[in-house]
Structure 1
Amino acid sequence: MTETFISWGMDPNWAWGVATIAGILLIALPLMLSVAMIIYADRKIWAAIALRRGPNVVGPFGLLQSFADGLKVFLQETIIPTSANRGLFLIAPIITFTVALMAWAVIPFNSGAVLADINVGLLYILAISSLGVYGVILSGWASNSKYPFFSAMRASAQMISYEVSIGFILIGVVLFADSFNMNEIVKAQQGHGLGIVNAFGFNLLLFPLAVMFLISSLAETARAPFDLTEAESELVAGYQTEYSSMSFALFWLGEYANVLLMCTLNAVLFWGGWLPPIDWAPLYAVPGIIWLFAKILFFFFVFSWVKATVPRYRYDQLMRLGWKIFLPISLLWIFLISGYLMLTRYS
């Protein structure tokens, strides 16, 4: 894109700046529209599983329901508790929303179609995703209310616990791909499974990691059955209790942007990303972005399916799964994978 602007006679520095801004908008604006539509899809899936109709009044088939809800919260009054820390109270949802968008900079939508094709893309995602906990903690503490504070403490412990396991899980992917670059990780999956499937998930050593990563994704985004941060019977509505209007909407948008990100990471890291499912020449005629979107939608359906069917964990069960099951297994699997690669690839 920068070269295009330069060919139009634009100064190289200006061309780079304009191309970067255009790339950001090209990702951020469709992402916001996608968030609105997956909220609608989420509610439709829950309704179908519960034998209800779901949103069906606003717009054709209820497609405009999310936009109506957005207009409603936009027109509401922003209420700030008198005893709250005003500055931190207002900046917390902004942090959550901004961090949720920043991670998309290194996601490859097709071969070379990435805003920032950096060599440490996976490390960047881990670093950015770990910053999301600051918005949660600040919102709970700044509200100066005990239930949001309890929820913020739960959320921070939950996110930190499962980020440790996710870090070790991703080491296995990096060992097989021999790169932290997201594009290279996708390319390394071409024909990897059984020689014909474009996925790490069909590798017997990596399949257990793919399953643990999917479950950890649910916990990292506080989705059911790990939504202890919003346990209504215990915490009213979690760390968002004191928020209203657009500040609440920013939390909502950030949460669903994170869900989309985790669905994308499942597709990119273990199931071939923008590659077709089978390493067969005619399938490559379909644009890579179509394959990636199809995989994202599949994993989002799994997220919604789990939320509609699996009962909520107790907090001790949540912690035990992260520290006593996923952490030791992921550590053991790193030894198995590194030993296997030493014997086969580097012997």
Structure 2
Amino acid sequence: MMDVLDVGLRLLAVLAAFLVLPLLVGQTEHKVMAHMQGRVGPMYAGGFHGWAQLVADGVKFAQKEDVVPAGADRRVFQLAPAVALVPYLLVLVAIPFAPGGGVGQVIDAGIFFVLAVLGVGVLGSLMGGWASANKFSLLGGLRTGAQLLAYELPMLLAAASVAMAAGTVSLTGILGAFEWWWVPWQIIGAVVFFTAGLAELQRPPFDAPVADSEIIFGAYTEYTGLRFALFLLAEYAGIVVICALTTVLFLGGWHGPYAEDLGWVWTLLKTAVLAFVVVWLRVTHPRLREDQIQRVAWTALVPLALLQIALTGVVKVVLQS
């Protein structure tokens, strides 16, 4: 009975984090962009520092009519936002936030699980683009699929480097084997993993499949109201997941001063800093063309990931000799 209760409490905590953290990232993005670009609304809506901007956005989405195009595949069109969102909830269950059981569920093959489930999220965009009966939406969905194929490989190779260093594919096992001197010689893999994660989320400067100012949100062109809001929520949830995974794999996760007592604080703090970097990149970097996005993946990130694996192998051999 106690085991069932413990699992239930862990899953409830993960669900609460899933509902709260993406909204915090969204609110932070409003504020950071408002400061950097002088945007008026997010700074003044509701009075004190624009606290009501997120509430106003939620009310706006709830009031909009849920429109399904006449020629659309209605069932697939309606299911697509959920398919895009749910994989991030499943990944969040497996991410360890604190020592001593600070995770929804310990999975022995944690790296394989999170990377496999992250790849499912692209199906939501493909479903939405195909089912919308809109050629521009279909084009956006196909671009999303091509981008996922290009950036999945460097992400997997970068994660494999950490698994080699730790001697395990368990996320909790990697944190258990973590040493601070890992950070400098795994920095290449960290950059590759984080960059590939941005591309898979279609975040700027890798947002050509969405390109809200050119092709009007790509695969999501025909979506309105709460279904469109779910796609946005999936993006913010993906930011939380990618930043948390980068923290666990490359930055020591819960390790820090007084880690036994404040492990979850260090995990959330590192994740928050990386989330700020994601927002900062959106404000400061122009969008890459589709051909440039593919070139970055195959001519830059893949060779760098292979270099990181070779470096990890050399270091492991030297340590064992």
TM over 0.5: yes
Aligned pair partner of 1:213 in 180, 193, 209: 193
Counterpart position of 1:201:
183
Counterpart position of 2:105: 116
Instruction: Give the letter aligned to residue 148 of structure 1.
Output: S
> C-alpha displacement at 1:286, in angstroms?
4.8
- Once the 2 structures are TM-superposed, how far is the Cα of residue 285 of structure 1 from its aligned partner? 6.3
Task: Read off the aligned partner of 2:79 and give its amino acid letter.
Answer: I
1:213-261 CA distance string (max 9 Å, x none)? 2211211111110011221354122111101111111111111000111
Paired residue secondary structure (2:44): coil
CA contact (8 A) 1:121 1:180 kept: yes
Residues 135-181 of structure 1, C-alpha deviation per residue, up to 9 Å, x if partnerless? 11000000010111110011111112111110011111001111111
Output the amino acid matched with 1:97. Answer: L
Alpha-carbon deviations, 1:108-160, whole Å to 9, x = none?
A: 11012111111111110011001011111000000010111110011111112
1:33 aligns with 2:27: no
Output the CA distance in 2 between the equivalents of 1:248 and 1:42: 18
Offset, 1:284: 3.4
Deviations, residues 271-319 of structure 1 (Å, cap 9, x unaligned) = 111111xxx5xx3365111111111110011111111001111111100
Give yes or no for contact 2:188–2:304 (8 Å, CA) kept in 1. no
Task: Pick from 83, 100, 112 the counterpart of residue 95 of structure 1.
Answer: 83
Alpha-carbon deviation of 1:34? 2.0
Which of 153, 163, 166 does residue 152 from structure 2 map onto? 163
Q: In the alignment, what sits opposite 1:339?
A: 314
CA–CA separation in structure 1 for the residues paired with 2:243 and 2:26: 14
| Poorly superposed stretches of 4+, deviation over 6 Å | none
- Specify the alignment match of 2:120 in structure 1: 131
Number of matched residues? 319
Partner of 2:38 in structure 1?
Answer: 51
**1:237 correspondence with 2:220:** no
Would you say the 8 A contact 1:150–1:235 is kept in 2?
no
Out of 255-264 and 47-56, give the one that drifted further.
47-56
1:84 corresponds in structure 2 to 72
**Contact 1:40 1:55 (C-alpha < 8 Å) held by counterparts:** no
How many percent identity over aligned positions? Answer: 31
Q: Which residue in 1 is equivalent to 2:177?
A: 188
Distance 1:49 1:161 in 2: 31
Is residue 308 of structure 1 aligned with residue 297 of structure 2?
no
Distance, in Å, in 1 between the alignment partners of 2:212 and 2:102 is: 42
Q: Which of structures 1 and 2 has the bigger CA Rg?
A: 1
Distance 1:19 1:322 in 2: 42
Match of 1:42 among 21, 29, 38: 29
Is residue 121–residue 181 contact of structure 1 (8 Å, CA) maintained in 2? yes
> What is the rounded CA distance, in whole Å, between the counterparts of 1:158 and 1:34 in structure 2?
26
Contact 2:188 2:305 in 1 (8 A): no
8 Å Cα contact 1:78-1:247 kept in structure 2: yes
The secondary structure found in structure 2 opposite 1:179 is: coil
Cα-Cα RMSD = 1.7
Residue 150 (1) aligns with residue 125 (2): no
Tell which has more relative contact order, 1 or 2 (C-alpha 8 A, sep 6+). 2
Structure 1 partner of 2:299:
324
Tell me, yes or no, if the aligned pair for 1:223 and 1:307 is still in contact at 8 Å: yes
How far apart, in 1, do the equivalents of 2:214 and 2:139 lie? Answer: 10
Asked if structure 2 preserves the Cα contact closer than 8 Å seen for 1:37 and 1:63, the reply is no
Contact 1:106–1:118 (Cα < 8 Å) also in 2: yes
Within the candidate set 20, 24, 27, 2:7 is matched to 20
| Structure-1 residue corresponding to 2:259 | 284
Distance 1:146 1:162, change over 3 A: same
**Could you say if the C-alpha distance between residues 51 and 71 of structure 1 is closer, same or farther in structure 2, counting changes exceeding 3 Å?**
closer
Shift of 1:182: 0.9
